Amino acid sequence: MIVLSGAELVLPDRILSPGTLVIDGDRIAEIRPGAVPGAVAGGHALPPFAFHGHRIVPGFIDVHVHGVDGVDSLDAGGAISAIAAKLPRYGVTAFCPTTVACAPGALRRVLEEVQHVRQMPAARAARVLPAHLESNFVNPEFRGAQPAAGLRSPRAALQGKSTADLSDPPSSGSPHFGEFTAADLLREIERASPDVGIVTLAPELDGGIDLVRWLLARGHRVSLGHSGATYDQALEAIAAGARHATHLFNRMPPLGHRSPGLVGAILQTDEVAAELICDGFHVHPALVRTAVAAKGPSRILAITDGTAASGLPAGTRASLGGQSITAGESAAFLDDGTMAGSVLTMDGAFRMLVGKIGLSLVDAVTVCSTTPARELGLVGYGVIAADAVADLAVLDPQFTVVQTYVGGQLVYSR
């Protein structure tokens, strides 16, 4: 049994200050008002740690993260395990390993590792959730850093045709993919079905709506993104069952008052939960506040879209799906200057939300922990409540992570 006492506890509807958490095994056994001296485990006092002035929040859940600290999800040699071991430093207790468009062999490799790590989780690591495929089925005009040579047609995939890529020949900086068909990708998704969580696609592509239905029938969560869909096309995809939006505002046409497009459809549709990159750069703080006001914290998921450049000094080189990227002050960039994801970590997203963006602590916890858990069907996660799973982050007065617990076990201490 572990007792953590004296910090502010950020509960689903209020802040208990000070409060005491009693952890029994992997669960929160009790929440008490007030403080008791020190912290206790197994009837013995833990090494001294002053919880007073700190906040305890549910562990962060990042549903869109490609990598961190020099490791990309598509790297060979245990990349998913390495990312899982690094993320607790940033308060993350669960994450969806996220891929860019890749060849079937690379997709198989990463999904096999996701399966292995989920079946045999490592100690002192974040939970590995089913993967987020920021997939091959996106619009070439809105691909951003998605490798052009990897893009394929949804119609060709569903019909089993050997159609080649959707785009012009790739630039010299793109990874070599070799020959593969669109249908090959769906076979890999079917092969690893339990370990594929979210699939991003552009519904306006030929066969896009049918692919939405195909994925839903196999239990996957469909996300709309990297897309130039019109308002009506977006509504059709939502009617077909799409319930997620990939990094709202980024890699989609801007909201227009006469042509609301994909952004307008997402903002006005309660069924869809929308990701927001909360670094203050990818989306201006005013637009983050607008999106949260329009949809409510219960329909927003704070994400990092973090890359292998996240956590590294500006100027450091890393990779994204085999492409060379460089860490900048505010984002990561391909060699040609294309923005290629962020350098954000979830503790930084939380600081941005409660600082520059001005969310309450309760609302910031909702978008960083509670909404992601609920949208992914993780019952008992993402909240501080009696009998909830004891996945927790302890933050100092500057909202920097000082401790992270996964299943009641201390997995990171500053």
Q: State the amino acid at position 384 in one-letter form.
A: I
CB atoms within 10 A of CB 398: 7
DSSP string across 166-186: SSSPPPTTSPP--S--HHHHH
Whole-number Å distance between alpha carbons of 113 and 136: 20
CB atoms within 10 A of CB 271: 12
Q: Token digits for 71? A: 């490791």
Contact 133, 195 (CB under 8 A): no
CB atoms within 10 A of CB 290: 15
Q: Token digits for 12? A: 């689903």
What residues act catalytically? 305
Distance, CA of 345 to chain centre: 10
**Computed from CA positions of residues 351, 355, 357, 360, in that sequence, does the dihedral angle turn out positive or negative?**
positive
Whole-number Å distance between alpha carbons of 18 and 247: 36
> CB neighbours of 258 closer than 8 A, spacing ≥ 6?
none
DSSP classification of residue 146:
S
Whole-number Å distance between alpha carbons of 174 and 177: 9
Whole-number Å distance between alpha carbons of 280 and 278: 6
